[in-house]
A and B are shown apart, each in its own frame.
Chain A
Amino acid sequence: MTSNPSELLSRYFDDLLSEDEHHDLQVWLRSSTDHAWEFARFALLHDRLRGEQLAISLLQPTLADQPRALPVALGRPRRSMVISVGVVMALVAVLMVLLEIGKTPVAAATELKRLIAAQQTELDRTYRIAVEDVPAPQRKRQPVVDGNRPPKPTLDGAILHVRKGNQFVLIRPMAGGRQFVTGSNGRTSWAVRPDGPVRVSTDLTRFNRDLPGHEHEFPLIQIERGLAHLQDAYDIQLLPIENSDDTAAEVSTTRLLVAVKKPGHRGPQRVEITYAVRTGQIRQLRFIEMPYGPEHLTVRLTQEEERPLGPAFFDHQSHHGLDRVVEEE
């Protein structure tokens, strides 16, 4: 066991301490504020060495340029240059944040990848949809009058069930407690109106147009595809967690990731994702100014369940009586 504080400090900053040595270091630090100051002085030198050495590496040929057999990590060309650029970029990113210009910090991008990975599940997901407000259409357009077509049911209060393979069931509430159900089992798409024939089509996109997002790279029935789109087309920012000290609450601790659309890309202006810190499971998605026909909606999807819904749930037969007429289109 090392007892020399200077050696302990040196080994600590080189990440070499054993558990016993780490314990010794903590005891030594606790024993006097002078020791904490000594630690701080060592840390200042350690940090400054990094800065100076990076500056030197930028101005002089690096070891990586020489024909030495270096570890794999060094084998990449001019690694120190990459690191230096990374540090400069970090500082620029901080400055950009200060200037309120969107940039995606490394941590936010990493976190987004974690969320995408967490979406890879065999379980079915159920979301409740809320439409928060419906601003006036940006483009004036006369509503299409079709005597045979009933008014479009609202998305507000709708339930969306989603399964891998573009399978979905969207249940929209209508007046009188009736429902308008559309969906797809990945082989056919279908619509079950409260009355009239059940319509079935082999065109899988035939009945998914009532869900916003499908034409703007953010299909609500493929959340992971939308998340992947965020990586390129949006500036992403992670908001801090401030209530994570309570271990009991940690399981339910959530964090907010905010994505703001870059100029020249399509889709909602802003996407807010509330997710469980521990698992990366998405609790809520909020789309601000999401294009929906001539309108721009603010739509909120709150995940209600994640469980298997059964083999036939995404077939139209599961959503209407046997006596209904089925028309194939």
Chain B
Amino acid sequence: MDERTRQATRLWTLAQPVVSVFVVSAVRDFAARDDVLQETAIAVMESFDRYDPQRPFVAWAMGIAQNQVRLYLRRIQRDRLVFDDDVLLQLAVAFEETSPEQSQSLGFLRGCLDQLEGRARELCELRYGHDLKPAAIAESLRMTANTVAKALQRIRDQLRACIERKAAVEGGAP
């Protein structure tokens, strides 16, 4: 591996988690996220010669990710319920500025997930382990989609509260 590729790899490895979150927040589908993220990684590597090292790499990679997200949304012809470009840009900036402490405190998530029991645990596995949307979960659990959506919201609120509590007690990161 040459020095250029090594450098690009280093920078992309650091940027990839936040770019991944940005992508999934725009496409709202984990499988699509994986595809768009791959395309972004390829584009980043192929355009790396044009990267100005004076600029933050995350911001540059985020710009490429924005283009890939737009292309994806166009390709699937999803023109409804898609963020406007200015909102997309605003979100990209917010992700770039996300504090490392914020990401580090998510290290407590596993412990908080372990505390979930019964139906909450089941819902979480179906939503995130199986990538099912509330309507599909409702079908399998004989619930209404609205009930599932409300339950998921409560679970996420609980998890956030749990993470914040642990971060406050044990420090910023596990």
**Interface residues, chain A, with chain B CB atoms under 8 Å away:** 6-7, 10-17, 19, 22, 26, 29-30, 33, 36-37, 39-50, 52-57, 62-64, 68-71, 73-74, 79-80, 83, 86-87, 90, 93-94, 97-100, 105-107, 110, 237-242, 244-245, 277
Contact = CB atoms under 8 A, between A and B. Distances in A.
Chain A interface helix/strand/loop/mixed: helix
Place the interface of chain B in its size category.
35 or more
B156 A45 contact: yes
B59 interface: no
A93 B128 contact: no
A100 B80 contact: no
Interface string B1-36: 100010011001000100011101100111100111
7 nearest A-B residue pairs (beta carbon): A53-B128, A36-B94, A43-B25, A10-B153, A240-B43, A53-B129, A94-B41
Contacts of A47: 20-21, 24-25
A105 B38 contact: yes
A241 B12 CA distance: 20
Interface string B148-165: 010011001101100100
Given A83-B130, A86-B34, A98-B12, 19 more contacts: A10-B156, A14-B127, A26-B83, A26-B84, A29-B91, A44-B21, A45-B160, A47-B20, A49-B113, A50-B30, A52-B109, A63-B126, A68-B140, A74-B132, A80-B129, A105-B42, A106-B35, A239-B46, A240-B67
Nearest to B157: A6
A79 B83 CA distance: 31
Contacts of A107: 35-36, 38-39
Nearest to A114: B75
Interface in B74-109: 74-75, 80-81, 83-84, 86-87, 90-91, 93-95, 97-98, 102-103, 106, 109
Nearest to A13: B28
B38 A106 contact: yes
A54 B127 CA distance: 11
Contacts of A80: 125, 129-130
Given A83-B130, A87-B34, A30 B94 contact: no
B173 interface: no
A43 B122 contact: no
19 contacts: A7-B153, A10-B153, A14-B127, A36-B94, A37-B97, A44-B98, A45-B109, A45-B160, A47-B25, A48-B106, A52-B113, A56-B129, A63-B125, A73-B136, A74-B132, A83-B130, A94-B37, A97-B45, A99-B1
Contacts of A54: 128-129
A44 B97 CA distance: 13
Contacts of B55: none
B108 to A, nearest CB: 10
A10 B129 contact: no
Contacts of B163: 45
A295 to B, nearest CB: 31
A87 B47 CA distance: 24
B64 to A, nearest CB: 8
Nearest to B8: A98
For A36, A43, A71, the residue with the greatest tally of chain B CB atoms inside 10 Å of its CB is A43
B25 A14 contact: no
Contact of A33 (B24, B94, B103, B136): B94
Nearest to A83: B131
